[in-house]
């Protein structure tokens, strides 16, 4: 099988040091050692089959192979979109995987073992791989030795598909690890211990994807698009991730190491200086108070809301409750988690978004069918309305948690008024049931708000404002859907532009509709957490910004230097522009002239 190794996309800076240029999606500097994600072996059960069980087992194996082919096909499609030798390198590797999955000795051998040795499929995969690898090793050939890793990787993929056990991807991770991976899913990121992992570098992924958002929340420096690095880097090799400049440096020279240690120390000093802002109010120069809220991905982050001086939680992404498990969380389990968070917020509001699974956020517990176009498929509120076994327990848990402090309910991916009225009807039904069961519920029930993140919803904001108690503008998806740019795809990351006039007009239209209807409106997409956009958003009339906790201090610093009258004037000039480059210049010029 032709698999000529290509030189990795690296610039040689010294004998050993290799510098890979990618896209920085989470700022900061990590200095640690390489840890390859997804190379860990999965525990393999072994058992004997009855004669009658052989056919079913061969079928189960065929399904696992089919799933692996589909997974690799998906990676191949992404690799094709990568440019130059980076895509080519990955393409060769994935072609090789694909050949191994289609009628190769590996697949035939496993099938034969199931029938002849009457053992389960995962044990048969492990035995077959062991035999192939032992044969290669005996030949003492460097090329074949490299192929052994490929065969093991394919075997692990098959075993993972067969066992369907929630794999524990970081169980063997050493301290000071920098994770190198083809791709890191949001579900795996949720399992990361940020005290152990210092940074991440992946081949695939985009700046607005959920993994990148989580990395920013966890303050983990992250770079995507570092293809060649996977090929040469062994576990334990010293490495630097520069998430600000988008660099991955393997085996850094002593000079580079010392330079980066100095830079990291400076960043830590800056962070400490910013932390002093925690206690000062978020108020503009002309005395207007701005509400800065937190976006949370994980319940463990809730204490940081208080310590970082946020006014509350503007967006709790509830997906974490459904990730890395095979069953749905029941009402009591959700209630316990949410009530704990409400209590820890000590009177600050908690805005709980109902499940927003789909696209890059999938949970096996939901047993979702493959969607031909997941970003446009049965996801978020559409899924919840179809699956009352998901929606009702979640609403019930939220209502019960609301007995412990202020709670708001937020509905994701709303596109029509009827979706809101259907959820309200469901909420009333659930509330009646809970009251009958003797639960104390707040009176009135918590406000029900909607995400404005679909262009159609923004354009229908007037009508939606009659049904919603508040709006939260999700600029991540609003940008994705307005510009038809997949937010998770690094191949089109350069086209993902929240300053596109179409996106800005939708934000403006939505904000004005909310102000007319006298309902609160916030921004909770990534735009809210970038100080660059603060003058524009405030100038458009936004007063509530919800962001990852890590960004609160920097945004507060910017808010305190803004004069609202001037920001409003600049926003009007910006809204007359048709070119996003010019818009960017006008914004940067405004920011550059702000008093420090
Ligand atoms: C958004 O789309 O802007 C948003 C906040 O939701 P998420 O990033 O979870 O899709
Ligand atoms: Mg969204």
Q: Kindly report the CATH number assigned to the domain that includes residue 111.
A: 1.10.274.10
Residues 364, 230, single domain; the answer is: no
Residue 12 scores a pLDDT above 60: no
Residues 340, 451, single domain; the answer is: yes
Tokens 């240029």, located at residue? 21
Residues 197, 343, single domain; the answer is: no
Residue 544 in any domain: the answer is: yes
Q: Which of 123, 144, 163 is the last residue of a domain?
A: 163
In order, the DSSP letters of 276-339 are GGGGS--B-TTS-B-EEEEEESSGGGHHHHHHTT-SSEEEEEGGGGGSS-SS---HHHHHHHHH
What local confidence, expressed as pLDDT, does residue 200 receive?
A: 95
CA of 368 to the centre of ligand 2 (A): 19
Please indicate whether residue 357 is annotated as part of the active site.
no
Q: Which residues make up the environment of ion ligand 2, defined by Cβ < 5 Å? A: 453, 474, 477
Residues 457, 542, single domain; the answer is: yes
Residue 46 in any domain: the answer is: no
3-state DSSP helix/strand/coil % of the chain, to nearest 5? 55, 15, 35
Residue 45 in any domain: the answer is: no
Residues 243, 330, single domain; the answer is: no
Q: Which of 101, 135, 163 is the last residue of a domain?
A: 163
CA of 216 to the centre of ligand 1 (A): 14
* Number of domains present in the structure of the chain: 3
Residue 86 scores a pLDDT above 50: no
Residue 18 scores a pLDDT above 70: yes
Q: Which residue has the least CA distance to atom 8 on ligand 1?
A: 476
HSE at residue 156, side-chain half, CA atoms within 13 A, is 15
Probe residue for ligand 1, chosen from 357, 411, 477 as the CB with the greatest number of ligand atoms within 8 Å: 477
Tell me which of 37, 167, 210, 404 is the catalytic residue.
210
What local confidence, expressed as pLDDT, does residue 250 receive?
A: 94
Residues 329, 234, single domain; the answer is: no
Q: Which of 217, 239, 274 is the last residue of a domain?
A: 274
213 Cβ contact partners less than 8 Å away, ≥ 6 residues apart: 295, 297, 476, 526, 548
Residues 354, 395, single domain; the answer is: yes
* CA atoms of 51 and 118, how far apart (whole Å): 7
Residue 374 scores a pLDDT above 60: yes
DSSP collapsed to 3 states, 493-534: HHHCCCCCHHHHHHHHHHHHHHHHHCCCEEECCHHHHCHHHH
CATH number at residue 308: 3.20.20.60
CA of 507 to the centre of ligand 1 (A): 14
Mean pLDDT of 189-205: 85
60 Cβ contact partners less than 8 Å away, ≥ 6 residues apart: 121, 162
Q: Give the residue from 375, 377, 471, 348 showing the smallest Cα distance to 420.
A: 471
Q: What percent of the chain has pLDDT over 90?
A: 63
pLDDT band at 6 (very low <50, low <70, confident <90, very high): very low
Taking the CA of 498 as reference, the closest ligand is 1
Residue 81 scores a pLDDT above 80: no
Residues 72, 122, single domain; the answer is: yes
Residue 66 in any domain: the answer is: yes
What local confidence, expressed as pLDDT, does residue 414 receive?
A: 98
DSSP strand pairing (177-181 vs 197-202): parallel
Residue 558 scores a pLDDT above 60: yes
**Among the ranges given (30-39, 333-342, 566-575), the one the predictor scored with the smallest mean pLDDT:** 30-39
Q: Which residue has the least CA distance to atom 1 on ligand 1?
A: 474
Q: What is the residue range of 120's domain?
A: 51-163
Residues 322, 434, single domain; the answer is: yes
Other beta carbons within 10 Å of 426: 16
Residue 196 in any domain: the answer is: yes
Taking the CA of 473 as reference, the closest ligand is 1
Residue 471 in any domain: the answer is: yes
What local confidence, expressed as pLDDT, does residue 474 receive?
A: 98
**Among the ranges given (154-163, 185-194, 282-291), the one the predictor scored with the smallest mean pLDDT:** 185-194
CATH number at residue 209: 3.50.30.10
pLDDT band at 142 (very low <50, low <70, confident <90, very high): low
Residues 130, 17, single domain; the answer is: no
Ligand 1 atom closest to Cα of residue 475:
3
Residue 477 scores a pLDDT above 70: yes
Residue 41 scores a pLDDT above 60: no
Mean pLDDT of 527-552: 97
Residue 323 in any domain: the answer is: yes
* 406-455: pLDDT as tens digits: 999 999 999 999 999 999 999 999 999 999 999 999 999 999 999 999 99
Q: Ligand 1: list residues with CB < 6 Å.
A: 315, 317, 356, 453, 474-477, 524-525
* 258-283: pLDDT as tens digits: 999 999 999 999 988 988 999 999 99
CA of 448 to the centre of ligand 1 (A): 17
What local confidence, expressed as pLDDT, does residue 255 receive?
A: 95
Residue 466 in any domain: the answer is: yes
Probe residue for ligand 1, chosen from 320, 323, 356, 414 as the CB with the greatest number of ligand atoms within 8 Å: 356
Residues 149, 96, single domain; the answer is: yes
Mean pLDDT of 349-370: 78
CA of 376 to the centre of ligand 2 (A): 12
Residues 346, 258, single domain; the answer is: no
Give ∠ CA 267-271-275 in degrees, rounded to 5.
Answer: 170
Please indicate whether residue 48 is annotated as part of the active site.
no
Residue 165 scores a pLDDT above 80: no
């Amino acid at each position: 099988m032709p698999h000529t190794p290509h030189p990795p996309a690296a610039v040689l800076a010294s004998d050993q040091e290799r510098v890979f240029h990618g896209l920085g999606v989470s700022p900061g500097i990590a200095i640690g050692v390489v840890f390859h994600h997804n190379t860990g072996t999965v525990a393999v059960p072994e058992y004997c089959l009855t004669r009658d069980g052989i056919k079913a087992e061969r079928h189960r194996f065929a399904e696992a192979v089919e799933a692996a082919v589909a997974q690799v096909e998906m990676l191949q499609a992404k690799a094709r979109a990568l440019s130059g030798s980076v895509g080519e390198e990955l393409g060769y590797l994935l072609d090789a995987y694909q050949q191994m999955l289609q009628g190769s000795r590996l697949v035939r051998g496993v099938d034969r073992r199931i029938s002849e040795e009457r053992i389960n499929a995962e044990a048969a995969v492990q035995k077959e791989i062991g035999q192939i690898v032992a044969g290669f090793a005996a030949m003492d050939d460097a090329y074949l030795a490299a192929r052994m890793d490929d065969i093991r990787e394919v075997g692990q993929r098959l075993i993972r598909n067969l066992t369907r056990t929630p794999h524990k991807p970081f169980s063997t991770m050493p301290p000071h690890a920098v994770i190198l991976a083809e791709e890191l899913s949001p579900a795996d990121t949720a399992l990361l211990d940020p005290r152990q992992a210092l940074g991440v570098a992946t081949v695939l992924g985009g700046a607005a994807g959920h993994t990148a958002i989580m990395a920013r929340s966890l303050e983990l420096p992250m770079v995507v698009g570092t293809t060649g690095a996977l090929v040469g880097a062994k576990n334990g090799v010293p490495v630097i991730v520069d998430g600000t400049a988008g660099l991955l440096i393997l085996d850094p020279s002593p000079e580079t190491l010392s330079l980066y240690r100095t830079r990291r120390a400076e960043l830590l000093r800056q962070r400490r200086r910013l932390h002093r802002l925690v206690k000062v109010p978020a108020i503009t120069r002309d005395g207007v108070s701005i509400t800065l809220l937190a976006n949370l991905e994980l319940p463990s982050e809730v204490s940081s809301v208080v310590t970082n001086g946020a006014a509350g939680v503007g967006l709790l992404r509830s997906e974490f409750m459904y990730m890395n498990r095979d069953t749905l969380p029941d009402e009591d389990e959700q209630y316990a988690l949410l009530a704990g968070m409400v209590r820890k917020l000590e009177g600050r509001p908690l805005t709980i978004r109902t499940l927003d699974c789909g696209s890059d956020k999938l949970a096996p517990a939901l047993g979702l069918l493959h969607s031909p176009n997941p970003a446009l498929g049965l996801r978020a509120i559409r899924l919840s309305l179809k699956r009352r076994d998901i929606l009702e327990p979640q609403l019930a848990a939220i209502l019960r948690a609301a007995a412990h402090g202020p709670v708001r309910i937020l509905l994701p991916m709303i596109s029509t008024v009827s979706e809101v009225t259907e959820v309200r009807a469901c909420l009333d039904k659930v509330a009646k049931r809970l009251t009958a069961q003797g639960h104390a519920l707040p009176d009135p029930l918590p406000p029900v708000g909607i995400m404005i993140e679909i262009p159609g919803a923004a354009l229908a904001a007037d009508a939606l404002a009659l049904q919603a108690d508040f709006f939260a503008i999700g600029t991540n998806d609003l940008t994705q859907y307005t510009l038809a740019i997949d937010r998770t795809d690094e191949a089109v990351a350069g086209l993902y532009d929240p300053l596109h006039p179409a996106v800005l007009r939708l934000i403006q239209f939505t904000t004005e509709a909310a102000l007319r209807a006298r309902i609160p409106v916030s921004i909770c997409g990534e735009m809210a957490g970038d100080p660059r956009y603060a003058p524009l958003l405030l100038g458009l009339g936004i007063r509530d910004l919800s962001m990852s906790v890590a960004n609160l201090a920097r945004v507060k610093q910017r808010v305190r230097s803004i004069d609202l009258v001037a920001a409003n004037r600049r926003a009007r000039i910006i809204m007359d522009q048709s070119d996003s480059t010019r818009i960017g210049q006008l914004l940067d010029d405004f920011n550059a002239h702000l008093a420090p």
